[in-house]
Structure 1
Amino acid sequence: MLATIFRSVIRQARRHPLYVGLNVFGLALGIGVFLALALLVRFEYSYNAGLRDVDRLVRVDGISTEPGTARAEYDSVTFRALPFLRQDFPEIVDAARIKPEDVQIKQKDELASLDATLADPSILRMFGIRLAAGTDDALTRPDGLVLSRAAATRLFGTSDVLGRTVTIDRSGVSSRHVVTAVMNGARGPNFLADLEMIIPIPPEDERTRSCFISWGSDCGSVYLKLRHPSDIVSVQSRLRDFIIRRASGSGSGDSSLGTHPEETFALNLVPMRNARFYDANVVEASNGADRNVIDGIGLVGLLALALACANTVNLSTARSVLRAREMAIRKTLGGTRSALFAQFVGEAIMLTAISGVLGLALCEVLVPEAATLTGESIAIPYGFVLAVLPLIVFGCGMASGIYPALVLSGTRPAAVLAAAKMPSGGRAAARLRDGLVIAQFTIAVTIVIGMVVIHRQTGFLRSADSGFARSGLLIGRAIPIKDVTIQRRVREALRLVAGVQSIAYGKLAPNPNSTSQSDYSYVGSHGTIRVHLLRDVVDGGYWNTYRPRLIAGRWFDDIHGQDVWPTYGKDVHDAVGNVVINSTAALRFGFATPADAIGKVLDARWVHVTIVGVVADMRFGSPRDPVYPGVIAYDPLKGRPYEGPIPAVRFTGVPEQEMERRLDRAWASVLPDVSAHFQAANERMEDYFRADEQRGRIFALGAVAAVVIAALGLYGLAAFSTARRLHEIGIRKTLGATSGQVIALLLRDFLRPVVIACVIACPIGWAIMHDWLSGFDERITLGPVSFMIAVAGALAIATLTVLGQTLRLSRAEPARALRAE
């Protein structure tokens, strides 16, 4: 039987190379795209799965429900909670605090930046971090240090670095550390995979940093290991009582959250196995991925495979009528239906196996491209692929071969041999082919609609009004030294750089690393309204540098004495000052228009401020999150230092990279041991756009594959229809039909299923993309443009696909066409 199947496949390839070639190539493309996208989905679903005892690992998130703001969950939490959690919950068997840290490494008089974190010594054993050298107690030394192999090689030129010393600069403070361990590569993808350096948490930080001693502050993440996975639910159910018991107080000190902390603060346990998808809805989480998007990518791969199978069925049913007489003769000579059925299914599986080998080769090409598009370290696990590929081959072979086998094996010899012409397969076969074309193009057009909407949305986010002028704006790192003289010297050095128009200091900047927040109250006609405001402190150059858009009132100036933010101190009560708020804050306080806010007084704990201006919202954070209500205070940096001021520079007449180098040199003239790292505002916000753009490119890959596969099927059917309708066209032309009329007739027939597919795909695409866009605070209007682009593209591709066959048939000479039949 195998020899018969092999000879039959070879014979069909020689007799009908077009059909066989389209079958094999289309199915290979579907298999290759499916494998590549399946590996991407597998990567995302296996995230964190390689961590030791992952089912018992949780992250403690902080949930804030402040007045006038929406409930928000953060993947960072106060470190003050950890010792109390250990005391109150015996289910906790291990814990680790992890705080990302901006450090500079000075090696051979050069500064280098590494992806570093401060952590407890338990981080190594708790997560099962593999070590190439050293032991799990490597961080018990206060001056210990753990490097990744890549970081060690980058710093020293070798990974054999145990005992080497490294000088680290943290916020302007240098310290020497000894390399006590070297990390191997991670076990699969996880949130620690890109970590280059781990430093023990300094005891001084634990004594002085607010996030270690205050419930109202945070700076990193807390991870717990529980005794059993079932303990997660048990501990979660008792966390509210824990907050009431441990975080309550008078509220007058920094260490408590007031008499009812449960009203504004909560803790949530996030299982690490599911954290990858959960973090898509966590504010500012850096490792999140939208499960719906990942599932959508997997669905695109599955649909590409289904399209390829449908394409094979379509072409096989069309080709089967060409073999009807062969089957009739074989049945006349004694061939049984079961034997013929097995032969045709075997042929389909053999062709699918050839396609599978080509698809695997295509996967080799597509996976590195997918890794580049997504920025993830996706590799091809050949054990997994070689185990799955035979199942794909068998499944696709059966799916694409059963129906043609049933049709051919059920051929009635007498009817076929008595017919004057080759059978066409009947109306049922024609309807099946049209239905499959409709299904193929419905899927393809839906994917194209998604691709277009994603592309337009990401383009919109990049160009949308952020409330400040992003072009020509460079932003440096926060100045770590709290010395007003140093801060002034840095500002002056930057101001004197050729090409600089203006320079500003502020506490916030695009993609902020830290925030300062306070409650403000307004007493109006409807009672007291409390709103939690994000506070920025700016200097005199802010207006010309960021160029915010004033929509009511005025900006700060030195003429009005109360514009200067009052000095804070424990002995200061009832201080007064002026502020500017953003339009979201004006809305939260209940003002009908921004102009109504001018002159109104807001009360904080120790200061009364008058609103003198309202600016349009400045979006420094993710476009998925609503803009936080904000207040801006003015401090000209005359008598007191800022705490971590962030310099921003507006420049002109100089290429961006050259200006970055000039600013870095000016900064180094004052702070030679601290890297300036000036970046464009758009570059600082790149993280907010990158994930959607990368996954949009994956959808584009799927869309191209879907359209190509659908076009291949349409081309094959056009070739079949051309051969079957040659006699009809000859008669039409004999009766006076022109070539133009013939072309119009044929295009109408060929494009009818494509038009129907477009009609079906548009509402489906609208529903899917409307749901996706709802996750953005700023988004495009889902108007007809995206659908028109997708439909026009599908019709254009379909027209070009069948145009060659249509033109050839319309130009056929009537006499030759009739004689051929």
Structure 2
Amino acid sequence: MLKSTFTAFYRSFVRHPLYALLNLLGLSLGIAVFIALSLFYRFETSYESWSPKLPQIYAIGMRFHFPGMTDNTGDGSMGGLLEELKTAYPQTEGTRYWPNSVIVHKGADVFNEQIDLVDANFLTFFGVPVVYGNSANALSDPSHVVLSASLARKYFGVTNAVGRTMILNDEEGLKNYTVSAIIADLPKNSVMKLDILRLLTPQRTALKYNWHHWGSVQVGTYLKFKNRTEAYAFAAQFPAFTDRQAGQSFGADVMPHKVLELKLIPLADVHLISPKLKAAVISLGVVGIVALALALINYVNLATARAGLRAREVAVRKTLGAAPLVLRLQFILEALLTLLLAFVVALSFVELSLPLLNSAGGLSLKLDYHADAIWIASVLAIVMLAGLIAALYPAFALSAFKPAQVLASSRTPGGGRTAGILRTGLAMVQFTAVAVAFILIMGFMLQIHHIQNADIGFQRSNLMIVNSIRDNAVTQSQRDAFAVEARALPGVSYVTIANAIPGDTSMINNSSIVRPGQVDSATESPTVSSSIVGPDYFELLGTKVLVGRIFDVQRGEDQMWDDKTSDKDRVYSVVISRRTTKDMGFPSPQAALNQIARFNDHTVRIIGIVEDMRFYNPNEPIPAKLYAFDAHASDSVVGMVRYQGLSAPAMREKLQHLWRQIAPAVPFDVTSAADNLDKYYKPERDRTNLFTMGAGIAALIGCIGLYGMAAFNTGRRVREIGVRKVLGASAGQVVRLLLLQFLRPVAIAGLIAWPLGWLALQRWLSQFDDAIAMPLWVFPLASGIALAIALVTVAGVAFGAASSEPGKALRHE
């Protein structure tokens, strides 16, 4: 049985190479897309899988229910939350992770790195792989640090750097630390970086005035439970715990758990905590499934189209006594061999395309046949099972031929009317999917072009952000000196210091603002995001002033309050955004001008209203903003430099040279505003690139199937074409006849794709705050592209058939 199956499989490839090649190519491409996007899906859904304790660990998230704030769950918490949980529930097992920046000194050189302040049990809690040292006591001493293997090689030239000393400078000052352990480098799919770890001490937490302030977010807090039931039982106590601990933090008449909700998030779900990101990852996974489905549809189409080529083989074998069951089993085994060969070819395609895929999608995917053996076997099993289901119909159709009818006829059967309808229907399904993909691709590209070029309220070009200024090692005199010296550089028009930064959410403070006579309530008062800005801030950004004025360093009332020494009865000047005027209930910006309000326990006067500025994710609404002025701002501020007439590299070089003169002990760190913002736009571009590649291959699979069907159908109509030409039909008429037959189902598929594409595109666009209007011309254009592709695919076959000589076709009649 096996020998005859292999023989038939080999002969089908040798005797009919065109069909065999088309079949193999279509399957291989579909399986390759499925493998590649499965690899992507596995990467995105396996974050923190390096931890052997993954199923037991949960992150604490916070969800705010304040007016005007986005109602999403975040994976951070108040710094002192774990301490309060342990006091209330002594059996609680938890740890914390607090990423910070640190300056590493290596001889005369200085480097910026991330340092993670963690609790002493962090390594054992997560089961972090330790290469050298003891995980149980590596973080027991505040003077010890734990390094990753790559960072140990960077600073010491060897992996085993245990016992070596390194100099670090952070909020606690310049100190020597001893390396107590080396941990393995974590994989790319990890939210945690874990390059330098140090003990989180009471001395460090004492520097944070809001460490126990309910509503603030500083650290990642993690708890461990034996099972999911125990975790859910613990989470059920959060509302009562929040009400006890927060007290009247949000007002005497507000139940704290109504405005601040604590949630437990499985560690494996933290990376995809954003519903929009999760939906995007799932969507690309679906594209892989669709590509595999289209490849299998293509296989069914070609297999049934080739039925006539094997009809006489089936008839002869049946005449010689072969049972239908044996024939079906043989055809199924042939299909599985084809799938197995296609899988091997698909792996080759994936290996060759991974560099392009990683570049286009901003990924770091790879195939490791040793480490991924079980996963590859699972993917193969899915492909073979899906292929087996698809092979059932061709196997039953082929084995159902009647020997007498086949051997008595001079024509090769094509499966009858039912098979023809099935092939046409499957081809329509293929090209419907292709047309929908083209609609989505064009919609994606138009939206991405829109958000990247839309007016976002400020000028993002020719704007540098000097991040080094916010380093704790920089003194106030150095900040002021940099601002003064940078203004004098050729090409620089404005310099300012502020913590309202395009593309940076590290310093977002939200508070309620209340007009006189309004109810001061956390559940009713509008919430605004406040920022501190320095001189020339709005001029530098090119922000449109709607009414009133902006800050003036000469006016004392514009200077921001100091919580330690300020007069609580003094009236301070603030500037608000257009969105804030709406949230505060003013009918227009003009109506808000010079109005008094209570904000952050201070009385403020609105001196100006500016246009909304989109600093953050284009998927989210622009928050209501309030700006306070500080001529010598120092609270987590960065420097901002507006320049003209110079290239970005030239400006960076000038700023770096200046920085080395002013603060040589602090590494220079500068980014452009455009690059800072691009972290929000790049993921959408990358996912669109992946989708475009998948859709392009799906279109190619459809073309392969259509070409195979056209070649088969044209071959069966050779005599008909000969007769038509003898009776006077021109080559053009024959071409028109054949093209209409092949393109009619494609045209119908294009029309079916319109409502499907519209629904899918509407759903995708709904995630953006500033979405484009649905362009109607996209739909006929997408259908036209699908039709044009089909036309090019079958045109060669049609012209070849129309050009054949009637005498050759009819010479045996």
Among residues 347, 369, 394, which one is paired with 1:360 in the alignment? 347
- Shift of the 719–96 alpha-carbon distance from structure 1 to 2, 3 Å rule, reads same
- Which SS does the other structure have where 2:306 is aligned? helix
- Which SS does the other structure have where 1:233 is aligned? helix
Structure 2: distance between partners of 1:173 and 1:662: 29
Structure 2: distance between partners of 1:239 and 1:148: 36
- Shift of the 750–552 alpha-carbon distance from structure 1 to 2, 3 Å rule, reads farther
CA contact (8 A) 2:530 2:625 kept: yes
Structure 2: distance between partners of 1:351 and 1:72: 48
- The match for 1:600 is 595
Are 2:63 and 1:63 aligned?
A: yes
- The match for 2:195 is 196
Structure 1: distance between partners of 2:387 and 2:364: 33
Structure 2: distance between partners of 1:309 and 1:68: 49
Q: Gaps spanning 5+ residues in structure 1: where?
A: 282-288
- Which SS does the other structure have where 1:414 is aligned? helix
List aligned pairs for 1:327-338, cutoff 5 A: 327-338=314-325
CA contact (8 A) 1:205 1:212 kept: no
- The match for 1:243 is 242
1:68 Cα deviation (Å)? Answer: 4.2
Are 2:421 and 1:421 aligned?
A: no
Are 2:280 and 1:280 aligned?
A: no
- The match for 1:230 is 229
- Which SS does the other structure have where 1:523 is aligned? coil
> For each residue in 1:666-703, what CA deviation from the matched residue of structure 2 results, as whole angstroms up to 9, or x when unmatched?
12211112223111112112322233322222222221
Structure 1: distance between partners of 2:600 and 2:347: 66
List aligned pairs for 1:624-773, cutoff 5 A: 624-637=619-632, 641-773=633-765
1:468 Cα deviation (Å)? Answer: 0.8
1:127 Cα deviation (Å)? Answer: 0.5
1:469 Cα deviation (Å)? Answer: 0.3
Are 2:530 and 1:540 aligned?
A: no
1:257 Cα deviation (Å)? Answer: 9.3
Structure 1 residue identity aligned to 2:458: F
- The match for 2:51 is 51
Matched residue count: 804
Structure 2: distance between partners of 1:239 and 1:500: 53
> For each residue in 1:264-308, what CA deviation from the matched residue of structure 2 results, as whole angstroms up to 9, or x when unmatched?
32322212132232x214xxxxxxx73322222222212222211
Q: Gaps spanning 5+ residues in structure 2: where?
A: none
- The match for 1:212 is 211
Larger deviation, residues 422-431 vs 467-476? 422-431
- Shift of the 740–116 alpha-carbon distance from structure 1 to 2, 3 Å rule, reads farther
Structure 1: distance between partners of 2:201 and 2:108: 25
- Shift of the 400–239 alpha-carbon distance from structure 1 to 2, 3 Å rule, reads closer
CA contact (8 A) 1:349 1:396 kept: no
Structure 1 residue identity aligned to 2:7: R
List aligned pairs for 1:340-739, cutoff 5 A: 340-367=327-354, 369-372=356-359, 373-380=361-368, 381-388=371-378, 391-392=381-382, 394-477=384-467, 478-480=469-471, 483-510=475-502, 511-523=504-516, 530-557=525-552, 562-566=557-561, 568-570=563-565, 572-637=567-632, 641-739=633-731
- The match for 1:286 is none
- The match for 2:277 is 290
- Shift of the 752–778 alpha-carbon distance from structure 1 to 2, 3 Å rule, reads same
- Shift of the 635–13 alpha-carbon distance from structure 1 to 2, 3 Å rule, reads same
Structure 2 residue identity aligned to 1:205: R
CA contact (8 A) 2:441 2:692 kept: yes
1:453 Cα deviation (Å)? Answer: 3.0
Structure 1: distance between partners of 2:442 and 2:17: 35
Are 2:807 and 1:787 aligned?
A: no
Structure 2: distance between partners of 1:61 and 1:522: 32
- The match for 1:285 is none
Structure 2 residue identity aligned to 1:591: F
Structure 2 residue identity aligned to 1:215: W
Structure 2 residue identity aligned to 1:621: Y
CA contact (8 A) 2:75 2:270 kept: no
- Shift of the 245–154 alpha-carbon distance from structure 1 to 2, 3 Å rule, reads same
> For each residue in 1:642-678, what CA deviation from the matched residue of structure 2 results, as whole angstroms up to 9, or x when unmatched?
3232110111122112211221221221111222311
- Shift of the 74–351 alpha-carbon distance from structure 1 to 2, 3 Å rule, reads closer
1:624 Cα deviation (Å)? Answer: 2.0
Structure 2: distance between partners of 1:228 and 1:665: 56
Structure 2 residue identity aligned to 1:626: P
- The match for 2:800 is 808
1:728 Cα deviation (Å)? Answer: 2.5
> For each residue in 1:758-810, what CA deviation from the matched residue of structure 2 results, as whole angstroms up to 9, or x when unmatched?
22222223222322322222222233244344323222211111111122122
List aligned pairs for 1:262-277, cutoff 5 A: 262-277=257-272
Structure 2 residue identity aligned to 1:243: T
1:755 Cα deviation (Å)? Answer: 1.7
- Which SS does the other structure have where 2:297 is aligned? helix
CA contact (8 A) 2:58 2:223 kept: yes
Structure 1: distance between partners of 2:345 and 2:407: 39
1:714 Cα deviation (Å)? Answer: 0.5
1:335 Cα deviation (Å)? Answer: 3.1
- Shift of the 662–599 alpha-carbon distance from structure 1 to 2, 3 Å rule, reads same
- The match for 1:284 is none
TM-score, scaled relative to structure 1: 0.92
- Shift of the 773–752 alpha-carbon distance from structure 1 to 2, 3 Å rule, reads same
1:473 Cα deviation (Å)? Answer: 0.5
1:819 Cα deviation (Å)? Answer: 3.4
Structure 1: distance between partners of 2:249 and 2:401: 89
1:560 Cα deviation (Å)? Answer: 5.6
- The match for 1:774 is 766
CA contact (8 A) 1:146 1:199 kept: yes
Structure 1: distance between partners of 2:212 and 2:331: 75
Percent identity of paired positions between Structure 1 and Structure 2: 31
Structure 2: distance between partners of 1:258 and 1:525: 15
Structure 1 residue identity aligned to 2:63: I
- The match for 2:122 is 123
CA contact (8 A) 1:515 1:535 kept: yes
Structure 2: distance between partners of 1:258 and 1:235: 26
1:716 Cα deviation (Å)? Answer: 0.5
Larger deviation, residues 678-687 vs 377-386? 377-386
> For each residue in 1:366-425, what CA deviation from the matched residue of structure 2 results, as whole angstroms up to 9, or x when unmatched?
445444424245543442245235524642553343322222222112222222433333
- Shift of the 370–16 alpha-carbon distance from structure 1 to 2, 3 Å rule, reads same
- Shift of the 18–524 alpha-carbon distance from structure 1 to 2, 3 Å rule, reads farther
- Shift of the 458–250 alpha-carbon distance from structure 1 to 2, 3 Å rule, reads closer
Structure 2 residue identity aligned to 1:178: T
Structure 1 residue identity aligned to 2:676: R
Larger deviation, residues 724-733 vs 126-135? 724-733
- Which SS does the other structure have where 2:412 is aligned? coil
CA contact (8 A) 1:240 1:267 kept: yes
Structure 2 residue identity aligned to 1:234: A
Larger deviation, residues 424-433 vs 343-352? 343-352
Larger deviation, residues 444-453 vs 110-119? 444-453
Structure 2 residue identity aligned to 1:346: L
- The match for 1:41 is 41
1:730 Cα deviation (Å)? Answer: 2.9
Are 2:174 and 1:174 aligned?
A: yes
- Which SS does the other structure have where 1:290 is aligned? helix
- Which SS does the other structure have where 1:212 is aligned? coil
CA contact (8 A) 2:586 2:592 kept: yes
Larger deviation, residues 422-431 vs 567-576? 567-576
